[in-house]
Amino acid sequence: MKKKNGKVRVFIDYRDLNRASPKDNFPLSHIDVLVDNTASHPQFSFRDGFSGYNRIQMAEEDKIKTTFITMWGTFCYQVMPFGLKNAGATYQRAMVTLYDMMHKEIDVYVEDMIAKSKEGEDHLVNLKRLFVRLKKYTLRLNPTKFTFSVKPGKLLGSVVSEKGIEVDPDKVKAIMELPPPSTVRDVRSFLGRLNYIPRFIANLTDVSTPFWSTGSNKGLPTKARDTIHDRETGGDQAGTES
């Protein structure tokens, strides 16, 4: 998979392995709570872990389970790869443990980290504490995704600043540029995008109820359901009335 920076990220299809794996229920940070806790701070530094998943060693007995075949041979992972069912929970548990007793200055959501300082606090002191902890556990940051000592900034789909929380204009633009939905799949995709910014839309549940009934294919008249089904399956290409 090609990343935004032009580099390639390797993904292995672990669907069969994931189906056989018990779920790790370690909770991720709730995004709304994390954003709320960060807002109103006048100073931030945003950071992203560098190859964070690959800093976690696979258990010896589990390495063989990650085996994959290529034209150059058969390989398995020595470290935790992307695509495993419990990779996110495992990494979050590690970060919560490593940043223990730093929750007032540091918030972590998987690989996203933010250092925050209140009025009158020395932001450099908080950053120094963070770097000492990073060095202790030999963790690295992605230099291309490091934003140092800024006022407002993007965090998990919102723009946070000392004034509060605002919607990310890029997400609004992406929604506004969507073509009108014409199939059940389109409706579900549209609703999924709205779920990124629910706190910024008044009465979203009431407003979107008709869409949810459409998305379930139960709120449409029979003829409309048939038309959408035909469009999705490629049948009855004309779809017109005489």
Contact by Cβ (8 Å): 39, 152: no
With bands split at pLDDT 50, 70 and 90, how would you rate the model's confidence at 181? confident
> Average per-residue pLDDT in the chain?
75
Return the CATH number of the domain spanning residue range 14-166.
3.30.70.270
Q: What is the pTM of this model?
A: 0.59
- Token look-up 């006022």 returns 151
Name the residue among 160, 177, 159 with its Cα closest to residue 168: 159
pLDDT at position 228 over 70? no
Average pLDDT over residues 112-125: 77
Name the residue among 113, 116, 133, 135 with its Cα closest to residue 40: 116
Q: Which two tokens stand for residue 4?
A: 């935004």
Q: Which residues pair with 57 in a beta bridge?
A: 79
E strands present in 29-91: 43-48, 68-70, 73-75
The CA-to-CA distance between both ends of the chain, in Å, stands at: 47
Instruction: Write down the pLDDT at residue 241.
Output: 40
Instruction: Write down the pLDDT at residue 202.
Output: 61
Sequence letter at residue 1: M
List Cβ neighbours of 70 (8 Å cut-off, separation of 6 or more).
none
Contact by Cβ (8 Å): 48, 112: yes
Average pLDDT over residues 11-40: 81
Sequence letter at residue 218: K
CA distance 164 to 152: 9
Q: Which of 79-83, 129-133, 200-204, 223-227 has the lowest mean pLDDT?
A: 223-227
For 46-92, the pLDDT digits (tens) are 777 777 788 889 999 999 999 999 999 999 999 999 889 999 899 88
pLDDT at position 240 over 50? no
Measured CA to CA in angstroms, residue 206 lies from 80, 181, 198, 212, 213 at distances of 42, 19, 12, 10, 12
Instruction: Write down the pLDDT at residue 39.
Output: 67
CA distance 12 to 173: 32
pLDDT at position 44 over 70? yes
Domain chopping of the chain, boundaries: 14-166, 168-215
Average pLDDT over residues 193-222: 62
CA distance 50 to 3: 14
Q: Above pLDDT 70, what percent of the chain?
A: 64
Q: Which residues pair with 2 in a beta bridge?
A: 8
Name the residue among 154, 160, 100 with its Cα closest to residue 129: 100
Instruction: Write down the pLDDT at residue 78.
Output: 94
